[in-house]
Amino acid sequence: MRSPIPDYLLEVLDSCGEDGGAVADYIPELAAADPDRFGICVATVDGTIYTAGDADVEFTIQSMSKPFTYAIALADRGIDALNERVGVEPSGEAFNEISVERGTGRPKNAMINAGALLTHSLVDGDDSAAQSERVRAGFSRFAGRDLVVDEQAFVSELASAHRNLGMAHLLKAAKTLDCDPVEIVRGYTRQCSVKVSCQDLAIMAATLANAGVHPLTHETLLSRPVVRQVLSVMMTCGMYDAAGDWMTDVGIPAKSGVSGGVIGALPGQVGIAVFSPRLDSHGSSVRGVEAFERLSRDMGMHLMDVAQEGRSALRGAYVTEGDDPMTVYEVQGDLRFAGAETIVRAIAEGEHETRRVALDLTRVYRLHDVGRRMLLESVRRLGEDGLEVVLVDPECALPEAADVGSERLTVVDSLADGTAST
Ligand code: GLN
């Protein structure tokens, strides 16, 4: 069978006919973009890439670089250190708002230029050139290929960076920026000039959607707390003064750039990138926004549109046959609070007319910390109630079980082992 997904993506491109808006023209390299280009790429967290249209056309990353530099700086310095210098509040204003908080000197957030300049200055590196290279190399790791700077776009952009220079000087005067303002604008402008395609951006976004693990190389590039911070700030601040509309209509953490790209990272599912150079009044791609609205609507991608996720955690509960039967609880999936609560409730309400109770974790895909603690406590309490607990845990999802101090616990690799051995 031919996958219907690329056909669907083509249909999305066809349906986004809106041709309003205008290509950014403040530098010749952006003004020269073909306004009719339209590409889309969806990268799943398990590394499947779907594209349609101009998905491999290259353009400068511009403001879509901001979440990735923020991620690098967060990883280098730690979340607290970043929070001291850059806020996490939506500005409700344009990307180039002059944002220096009275008293603290902090810019509102890392998705607007003031915050992005400061963020760039917090990336590790002995000097500005080293920081800039660290950013480029970091982007390349997220994309899974070596990305290069569009030198011509960089030179033009730097020559017209008066507002960014003004902001960097203000940040320096406010003492939030430690280094040379001119050098920081230079580094930030190089960061904005890295060339990418929709496919690169979708893979980069999929790394964020995949909790920091690259979907193709499987390398862990970011820690979960860093990813959570980046996605949260993208969600609340990524679309500048359209953040509220975006949240309600689309509901995907996102970031746009003046070159006409929009990226989105839907946690646990996909990274998405759309490219179409004509921009709306907020500086975001007109057809890019439209395509995201359609994807979100058609594919149920809104973050706030979640069904009862805990319901499927209990795959089944039954009593085995034989002389010494066991009550078995089969657990499955990705266990957060709601899923674990379903299991704990089933066990708490169980009659347990058998002397042994088995918790079969064979089909558990991931145990969140809360799920782990709730299952451990259940194992302990079952032991206290005088029941023998058989933990079927072939993937070692609950290694701490051995420490709960119950002599009544046996850990086995398969239910068959458990039936035989105790
Ligand atoms: N390089 C641009 C700037 O800093 C990026 C702006 C954007 O993409 N919104 O002004």
Q: Which domain CATH number covers 249?
A: 3.40.710.10
Residue 201 CB partners (closer than 8 Å, separation 6+): 41, 61, 64, 143, 261, 263, 271, 273
Catalytic-role residue among 23, 42, 65, 66: 66
The helix, strand and coil proportions of the chain, stated in percent and rounded to the nearest 5, come to 45, 20, 35
Tokens of 188: 């930030």
Q: Which atom in ligand 1 lies closest to the alpha carbon of residue 157?
A: 1
| CB contact set of 128 (below 8 Å; sequence gap of 6+) | 179, 180, 183, 184, 186, 187
Residue 10 lies in a domain: yes
Examine the domain organization and report whether 215 and 333 are in the same domain: no
Cα of 403 vs centre of ligand 1, distance in Å, is 53
Token pair listed for 105? 């000197």
Contact 10/2 with Cβ under 8 angstroms?
A: no
Spell out a b/e string for 229-265, using b for 16 or more CB atoms within 10 Å of the CB, else e: bbbebbbbbbbbbbbeebbeebbbbbbbbbbbbbbbb
Residues pairing with 49 in the sheet = 43
Give the pLDDT confidence score for residue 18 in this predicted structure: 66
Does any domain span residue 280? Answer: yes
* Cα 122 to ligand 1 centroid, rounded to whole Å: 19
* 375 in the same domain as 244: no
Q: How far is the CA of 34 from the centre of ligand 1 (A)?
A: 19
Structure tokens at 68: 């990735």
> How many whole angstroms separate alpha carbon 288 and alpha carbon 186?
28
CA 222 to ligand 1 centroid distance, Å: 25
Cβ < 6 A, ligand 1 pocket? 62-63, 95-96, 113, 157, 164, 192, 257-258, 283
Mark whether 172 is an active-site residue.
no
Among residues 245, 274, 299, the one where a domain terminates is 299
Would you call 195 a catalytic residue per the annotation? no
| Pairing mode of beta strands 409-412, 388-392 | parallel
Distance set, CA 351 to CA 25, 231, 359 (Å): 72, 44, 15
Per-residue pLDDT tens listing for the chain (422 residues): 889 999 999 999 999 976 789 999 999 999 999 999 999 999 999 999 999 999 999 999 999 999 999 999 999 999 999 999 999 998 878 888 887 888 888 999 999 999 999 999 999 999 999 999 999 999 999 999 999 999 999 999 999 999 999 999 999 999 999 999 999 999 999 999 999 999 999 999 999 999 999 999 999 999 999 999 999 999 999 988 888 899 999 999 999 999 999 999 999 999 999 999 999 998 999 999 999 999 999 999 999 988 777 788 999 999 999 889 999 999 999 999 999 999 999 999 998 999 999 999 999 998 999 999 999 999 999 999 999 999 999 999 998 888 876 678 999 999 888 776 44
Domain that holds residue 32: 5-299
CB 401 within 8 A of CB 393: yes
- Which residue's CA is the closest to the ligand 1 atom numbered 4? 113
pLDDT given for residue 102 in this prediction: 82
Both 102 and 23 in one domain: the answer is yes
Report the candidate in 191, 160, 215, 226 with the shortest Cα–Cα distance to residue 25.
160
pLDDT number for residue 258: 96
**Quick one: 197 and 272 in the same domain?**
yes
Query: Does residue 304 belong to any structural domain of this protein?
Result: no
Residues 294 and 323 both lie in one domain: no
**Cβ 24 vs Cβ 292: under 8 Å:** no
> The CATH number of the domain where 385 resides is what?
3.30.750.24
Task: Among 93, 113, 132, 190, name the best residue to mutate to test ligand 1's pocket (greatest count of ligand atoms within 8 A of Cβ).
Answer: 113
Instruction: Please confirm, yes or no, whether 8 is among the known catalytic residues.
Output: no
Count CB-CB contacts under 10 A for residue 39. Answer: 27
